[in-house]
């Protein structure tokens, strides 16, 4: 599809909107163009005349031809001009393509955070009106946003100005899933790097604990992710967990999560290490209970291995288990997804996270041009998940979106009351500082009381992390500098 722009700089939002309707096509952007040509094309124009801005959108999609206009004062904030232009484009593309994205013109990652900000500024009734009328969000997604906002409220209220969370990256997996775009390495290719990586990660954790103490921070949650943390050995896992337990004061922590992730990496020995190290929550992620779909997406485990891993975790005393599912996987059907969810619910996990497939350019499925279910198919899967999970007493407590998601849908974390993962809420809401360790990790320093972040990135790949480790340690000093700047001269809580 071709997107022509004139008189404005809103190309990012206009391009994202076009991608909702033409997700299989490359969006070509042409700036400073008053004219456009098809067959699939759109022109978005803003032109000043005196004290008035004239907005014009024209579209040509197949045989469809659309045109829409609006006018605003030159005093209108740029965000409002952008929104009005987006509404004109959205309405025409909806009519042209016969598709009605449920999140309307919202393309951001954190719709619930945005909804909450509107509630705090205008009150809930006005926030509802803005979502419905100004952003064209459907009643279903509006209500989902409202319920999720309420459910995560108690966790957000517990965060204090001196709160922080700790994220530990283990960027290794047994194999690479075909849909994966994360910076992770297969164990079979990088096994020689793991001992050095674990040793250096322990040193980074020690440095991070020093920063926490110097700045008077308190750790609210600990989260081991990846990758697949249980892809490393039980001994290596024990070393990392022991470092966290001995270096950090976890007396305020309400969560210690380790993603076991791939069922084929779960062993009794590793589960006993987790249990003995004070881990309070794990994830065992089948994604689907269809062996055929598992093979298609490159996950070298079976449904039976998922069931065995879950029962083994229960036998080892794990009483807070999350299971991840993905709606919209290639080869899956609505009926197949129903069977997967029903099978997972029969196990009674404490939480279920339902993701929607997101095909990033670096994912093998995208590169292979694999077919994907239509958005309506994925939407039916999510509708069923919402119905069944609600029926079984689960609550939606965090929600986020990604680019290139099938059907422009969302990922939702569901849990039984009291079984939430605080870390998931804090990272999505950007509530407080997240101190991140390991390859590919990004620390986010949050200024207390202000919606302002500074990101401090580690090197992406394990070999870079190992070879340039001294720089990793030096970058951690920036965290303390940030907190000193917040108060002028000294860390605010020391």
| pLDDT average, residue stretch 290-308 | 92
User: Residue 270 pLDDT more than 90?
Assistant: yes
> Do 283 and 203 share a structural domain?
yes
Helix, coil or strand: residue 48: strand
> Do 61 and 147 share a structural domain?
no
User: Residue 371 pLDDT more than 60?
Assistant: no
pLDDT computed for residue 397 by the predictor: 98
Region for 176 from its dihedrals, namely left if φ exceeds 0, alpha if ψ lies in -120 to 50, beta otherwise? beta
Domain annotation covers residue 103: no
Domain annotation covers residue 182: yes
User: Residue 363 pLDDT more than 70?
Assistant: no
289-292 contacts at long range (C-beta below 8 A, 24 or more positions apart): 289/339, 289/340, 289/343, 289/344, 290/331, 290/332, 290/336, 290/339, 290/340, 292/331
pLDDT computed for residue 367 by the predictor: 45
User: Residue 368 pLDDT more than 70?
Assistant: no
- The whole-chain average pLDDT of the chain stands at 92
> Do 147 and 83 share a structural domain?
no
> pLDDT tens across 119-138, in order?
999 999 999 999 999 999 99
Sign of CA dihedral 263, 267, 271, 273: negative
pLDDT computed for residue 376 by the predictor: 86
- Best-predicted range by mean pLDDT among 280-289, 372-381, 482-491? 280-289
Neighbours of 29 (CB within 10 A): 15
Domain annotation covers residue 490: no
Domain extent for 17: 2-97
Q: How many domains does the chain have?
A: 3
> Do 288 and 434 share a structural domain?
yes
pLDDT computed for residue 449 by the predictor: 84
> Do 73 and 159 share a structural domain?
no
Q: Which of 323, 329, 311 is nearest to 285 (CA)?
A: 323
> Do 204 and 273 share a structural domain?
yes
Domain annotation covers residue 461: yes
> Do 404 and 273 share a structural domain?
yes
Q: What's the CA gap between 268 and 309, in Å, rounded?
A: 9
pLDDT computed for residue 360 by the predictor: 57
> Do 377 and 291 share a structural domain?
yes
Domain annotation covers residue 366: yes
Neighbours of 195 (CB within 10 A): 12
- Please give the helix or strand (H or E) that residue 72 lies within, else none: strand 64-73
Q: Which of 327, 331, 369 is nearest to 25 (CA)?
A: 369
Sheet of 52-61, strands arranged across: 28-30, 2-6, 40-49, 52-61, 64-73
> Do 144 and 160 share a structural domain?
no
Residue of 139 and 449 predicted with greater confidence: 139
**Residue 483's Cα: distance from chain center in Å?**
26
Q: What's the CA gap between 238 and 240, in Å, rounded?
A: 5
| pLDDT average, residue stretch 245-256 | 98
Q: What is the pTM of this model?
A: 0.92
- The single-letter DSSP state of residue 229 is G
CATH code for position 54: 3.30.160
CATH code for position 236: 3.80.30.20
Domain annotation covers residue 489: no
- Report the b/e string of 68-79 with b at 16+ CB within 10 A: beeebeeeeeee
Residue of 350 and 185 predicted with greater confidence: 350
Q: For residue 227, is the peptide bond before it cis, meaning its omega torsion is within 30 degrees of 0?
A: yes
> Do 88 and 186 share a structural domain?
no
> Do 383 and 441 share a structural domain?
yes
> Do 232 and 210 share a structural domain?
yes
Domain annotation covers residue 494: no
Domain annotation covers residue 215: yes
pLDDT computed for residue 187 by the predictor: 60
> pLDDT tens across 377-387, in order?
999 999 999 99
């Amino acid at each position: 599809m071709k997107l022509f722009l004139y008189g404005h700089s809103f190309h990012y939002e206009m391009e994202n909107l076009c991608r909702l309707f033409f997700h299989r096509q490359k969006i070509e952007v042409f700036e400073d163009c008053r004219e456009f040509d098809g067959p699939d094309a759109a022109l978005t124009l803003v032109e000043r005349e005196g004290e008035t801005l004239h907005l014009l959108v024209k579209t040509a999609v197949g045989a469809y031809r659309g045109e829409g206009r609006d006018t605003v004062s030159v005093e209108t904030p740029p965000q409002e001009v952008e929104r009005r232009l987006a509404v004109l484009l959205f309405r025409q593309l909806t009519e042209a393509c016969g598709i009605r994205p449920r999140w309307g013109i919202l393309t951001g990652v954190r719709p619930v955070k945005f909804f909450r900000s509107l509630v705090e500024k205008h009150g809930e009734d006005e926030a509802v009106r803005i979502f419905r009328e100004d952003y064209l969000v459907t009643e279903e997604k509006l209500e989902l946003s409202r319920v999720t906002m309420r459910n995560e409220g108690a966790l957000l209220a517990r965060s204090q100005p001196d709160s922080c969370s700790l994220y530990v990256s283990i960027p290794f997996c047994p194999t690479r899933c075909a849909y994966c775009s994360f910076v992770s390495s297969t164990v079979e290719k990088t096994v020689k790097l793991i001992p050095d990586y674990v040793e250096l990660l322990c040193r980074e954790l020690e440095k991070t604990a020093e920063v926490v103490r110097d700045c008077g921070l308190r750790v609210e949650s600990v989260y081991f992710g990846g990758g697949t943390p249980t892809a490393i050995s039980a001994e290596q896992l024990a070393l990392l967990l022991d470092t966290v337990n001995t270096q950090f004061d976890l007396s305020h922590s309400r969560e210690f999560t380790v993603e076991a992730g791939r069922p084929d990496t779960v062993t009794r020995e590793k589960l006993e290490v987790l249990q003995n190290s004070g881990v309070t929550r794990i994830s065992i992620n089948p994604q689907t209970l269809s062996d055929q779909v598992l093979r298609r997406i490159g996950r070298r485990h079976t449904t039976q291995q998922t069931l065995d891993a879950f029962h083994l975790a229960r036998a080892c005393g794990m009483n807070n288990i999350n299971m991840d599912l993905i709606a919209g996987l290639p080869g899956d059907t609505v009926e197949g997804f129903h069977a997967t969810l029903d099978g997972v619910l029969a196990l009674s996990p404490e939480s279920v996270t339902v993701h929607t497939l997101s095909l990033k350019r670096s994912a093998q499925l995208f590169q292979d041009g694999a077919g994907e279910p239509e958005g309506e198919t994925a939407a039916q899967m999510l509708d069923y998940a919402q119905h069944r999970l609600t029926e079984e007493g689960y609550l939606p407590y965090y929600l986020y979106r990604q680019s290139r998601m099938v059907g422009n849908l969302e990922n939702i974390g569901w849990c039984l009351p009291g079984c939430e993962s605080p870390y998931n809420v804090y990272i999505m809401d950007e509530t407080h500082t997240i101190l991140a360790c390991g390859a590919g990790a990004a620390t986010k320093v949050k200024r207390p009381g202000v919606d302002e972040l500074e990101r401090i990135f580690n090197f992406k790949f394990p070999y870079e992390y190992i070879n340039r480790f001294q720089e990793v340690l030096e970058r951690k000093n920036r965290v303390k500098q940030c907190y000193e700047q917040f108060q002028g001269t000294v860390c605010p809580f020391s």
